[in-house]
């Protein structure tokens, strides 16, 4: 295989005229040629023009704004790969407002330095009904900090049945122990008893960690003491009870997920959760509960490494404000989770009418909340089904289009599930299905009979 020279590729028209810097273009050409060289299956020579065209296209794509907006028609409301909770308009405005210089850590009255949580902290105390609250950059960080700051010196007792693996191969027990906290595994996979926790405390554990089974259910011959029972043991032994809730549901939400308030009322001394799951805010992690424990967390050196940035703080402040004004219906998550099947049916019918396709129909589907919330409880939903012999090609055309839609494939049909689509996006769904690249795919493949 013969490869072109770097300088020749750089001098070819598509690259010579490209707006990227010369250094970036050279880096991209070298990277592309190295990949061609490493690909042993490639025996054909490539032309200078072909390499230049390809590198120029790659550079253009790389320099576009990313991540790009996509319509989430997967039926998974809180899809981690699609950015979890969509922010409320108020939160978006707050993020934009904080992007320049802002009073992040200054008290405007005195001019003195203050805490970056000066505005958000009281809102969270009120919202969670907690003595105090602290904020870090995600739920995993909240768990890590809680264990590092309040479980020393002996570490936490954690039931084997609660050793949850969340997405991408990460395990809660590993995250809890990542700062050196000892994890005392108690009980068996399916059954854990109070005596198991007592034994772990006898063996040196100085905290109990409860982890909400956020993404799976256990059925059959199972036993796990409840938070209230654990609280009795924790109080008697004088150790803190940490509860990792995950979803961050608060009271007044249309789900059966346990809430932060309920965990605190059941006796958890410190609750950790995410900001961008059911709470509906930006990526963040919360620690809420006993003031002395939250103070330990706030002063721990890890707190500095895990602190949230001003954009997340601004978005979360606006989100918490909505709750405290009784306006949580303005949060997209609430609208999506609480939409009735009848409302979804009406939207689906209007969409199919607007499309005017004889082969598009409406399927009753089971959508879900996702994001580690309410496993096993589907949400009845409606999807626009596009039957085709080439579902993967059609789904790809939808993903790569503009508007871009992320659909799912089920039983040979491409499904656009409305449970995860804000109703403002309905017109864009029609436009996405009617764009040339998608229609071409459908015609080429032919609708499945
Ligand atoms: C999602 C989840 C986490 C991690 O939260 P992130 O915000 O994704 O870091 C931890 N514990 C539980 C139980 C969860 O559901």
- How high is the mean pLDDT in each 10-residue block of the chain (449 residues)? 93 97 98 93 87 97 96 96 97 98 96 96 98 97 97 96 90 93 96 98 98 89 96 98 93 86 97 96 98 98 97 98 96 95 98 90 94 73 94 96 96 95 97 93 70
Q: How many whole angstroms from its chain centre is CA 241?
A: 26
Secondary structure letter of residue 171 according to DSSP: B
Nearest CA owner, ligand 1 atom 15: 246
Ligand 1, pocket-test mutation among 169, 214, 215, most atoms within 8 A of CB:
214
For ligand 1, what atom is nearest to the CA of residue 283?
A: 7
Helices (runs of H) and strands (runs of E) counted in the chain: 19, 14
Answer left, alpha or beta for residue 253, where phi above 0 means left and psi between -120 and 50 means alpha: beta
Q: How far is the CA of 350 from the centre of ligand 1 (A)?
A: 37
Mutate to test the pocket of ligand 1, among 162, 174, 212, 246 (most ligand atoms within 8 A of CB): 246
Pocket test for ligand 1, best of 81, 136, 140 (most atoms within 8 A of CB): 140
Which residue, by CA, sits nearest to atom 12 of ligand 1? 246
Residue 354 neighbours by CB under 8 Å, 6+ apart = 430
Using alpha carbons, select from 276, 281, 310, 283 the residue that is nearest to residue 99: 310
The burial class, CB within 10 Å (0-12 / 13-18 / 19+), for 146 is buried
Closest CA to 282 of 318, 334, 322: 318
Nearest atom in ligand 1 to the alpha carbon of residue 373 is: 15
CA gap 449, 446 in Å, rounded: 9
Ligand 1, pocket residues at CB < 6 Å = 138-140, 143, 164, 166, 172, 211-212, 214, 244, 246, 274, 285, 372
Rounded alpha-carbon distances, angstroms, from residue 364 to 287, 395, 405: 39, 19, 19
From 76, 145, 170, 172, the mutation candidate for ligand 1 (largest count of ligand atoms within 8 A of CB) is: 172
The whole-angstrom separation of Cα 7 and Cα 9 is 5
CA 164 to ligand 1: nearest atom: 13
Atom from ligand 1 closest to the CA of residue 170: 4
Residue 319: CB atoms within 10 A of its CB come to 30
- Residue nearest ligand 1's atom 13 by CA: 246
Using DSSP, state whether 86 is helix, strand or coil: coil
Q: Give the distance (Å) from ligand 1 centre to CA of residue 339.
A: 25
pLDDT at position 357 is 87
The Cα 267–Cα 230 span in angstroms is 8
Full 3-state SS string of 244-313? EEECCCCCCCCCCCCCHHHHHHCCCCEEEEECCCCCCCCCCEEEEECHHHHHHHHHCHHHHHCCCCHHHH
SS3 content of the chain, % helix, strand, coil (to 5): 45, 15, 40
Calculate how far, in angstroms, residue 144's C-alpha sits from the geometric centre of ligand 1. 11
User: Comparing C-alpha atoms, which of 15, 48, 169, 71 is closest to residue 425?
Assistant: 71
Cα of first residue to Cα of last residue in the chain, in angstroms, is 47
- Cα–Cα distance list, 381 to 70, 87, 181, 323 (Å): 20, 22, 43, 26
Q: What DSSP character marks residue 165? A: B
Dihedral of the alpha carbons of 323, 326, 331, 333, in degrees to the nearest 10: 80
Quick one: pLDDT at residue 141?
A: 97
CA 217 centroid distance within chain: 20
Please check whether residue 417 is in contact with residue 389, taking contact to mean a CB–CB distance below 8 angstroms: no
Distance 158 CA to ligand 1 centre (A): 16
- pLDDT value of position 36: 94
CB 287 within 8 A of CB 149: no
276 C-alpha vs ligand 1 centroid, how far in Å? 10
Q: How far is the CA of 372 from the centre of ligand 1 (A)?
A: 7
Q: Which of 244, 239, 216, 215 is nearest to 371 (CA)?
A: 215
Counted residue by residue, the chain has a size of 449
Q: Residue 304 phi/psi, 5° resolution?
A: -70, -35
184 CA distance to ligand 1 centroid (A)?
A: 20
Counting atoms of ligand 1 from 1, which one is nearest the CA of 284? 7
Q: Radius of gyration over alpha carbons of the chain, in Å? A: 26
Which residues are CB-contacts of 284 (< 8 A; sequence separation ≥ 6)? 135, 136, 137, 138, 274, 275, 276, 308, 312, 313, 316
């Amino acid at each position: 295989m013969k490869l072109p020279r770097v300088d020749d590729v750089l001098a070819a028209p598509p690259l010579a005229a490209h707006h990227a810097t010369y250094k970036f273009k050279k880096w991209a050409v070298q990277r592309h040629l190295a990949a061609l060289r490493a690909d042993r299956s490639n025996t054909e020579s490539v032309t200078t023009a072909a390499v230049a065209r390809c590198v120029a296209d790659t550079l253009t794509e790389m320099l576009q704004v990313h991540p790009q907006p996509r319509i989430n028609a997967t039926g998974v409301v809180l899809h981690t790969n699609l950015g979890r909770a969509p922010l409320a308009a108020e939160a978006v405005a707050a993020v934009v407002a904080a992007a320049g210089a802002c009073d992040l850590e200054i008290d405007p009255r005195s001019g003195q330095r203050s805490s970056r949580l000066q505005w958000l902290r009281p809102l969270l105390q009120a919202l969670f009904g907690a003595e105090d609250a602290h904020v870090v950059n995600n739920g995993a960080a909240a768990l890590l900090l809680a264990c590092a700051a309040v479980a020393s010196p002996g570490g936490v007792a954690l039931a084997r049945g609660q050793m949850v693996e969340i997405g991408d191969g990460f395990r809660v027990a590993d995250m809890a122990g990542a700062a050196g906290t000892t994890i005392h595994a108690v009980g068996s996979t399916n059954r854990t008893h109070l005596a198991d926790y007592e034994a772990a405390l006898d063996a040196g554990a100085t905290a109990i960690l409860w982890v909400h089974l956020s993404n799976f259910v256990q059925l059959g011959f199972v036993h796990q003491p409840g938070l209230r029972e654990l609280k009795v043991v924790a109080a008697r032994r004088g150790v803190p009870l940490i509860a990792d809730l995950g979803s961050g549901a608060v009271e007044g939400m249309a789900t059966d997920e346990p809430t932060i308030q309920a965990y605190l009322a059941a006796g958890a001394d410190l609750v950790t959760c995410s900001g961008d799951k059911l709470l509906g805010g930006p990526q963040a992690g919360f620690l809420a509960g006993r003031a002395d424990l939250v103070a330990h967390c706030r002063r721990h050196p890890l707190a500095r490494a895990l602190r949230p940035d001003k954009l997340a703080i601004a978005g979360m402040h606006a989100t918490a404000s909505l709750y405290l004004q009784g306006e949580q219906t303005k949060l997209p998550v609430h609208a999506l989770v609480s939409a009735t099947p009848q409302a979804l049916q009406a939207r689906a019918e209007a969409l199919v009418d607007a499309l005017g396709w004889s082969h598009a129909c409406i399927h009753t589907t089971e959508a879900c909340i996702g994001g580690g919330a309410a496993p096993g409880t589907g949400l009845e939903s409606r999807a626009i089904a596009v039957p085709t012999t080439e579902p993967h090609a059609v789904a790809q055309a939808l993903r790569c289009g503009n508007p871009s839609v992320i659909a799912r494939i089920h039983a040979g049909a491409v499904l656009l599930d409305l449970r995860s689509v804000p109703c403002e996006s309905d017109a864009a769904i029609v436009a996405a299905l009617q764009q040339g690249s998608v229609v071409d795919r459908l015609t080429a493949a032919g609708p499945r009979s």
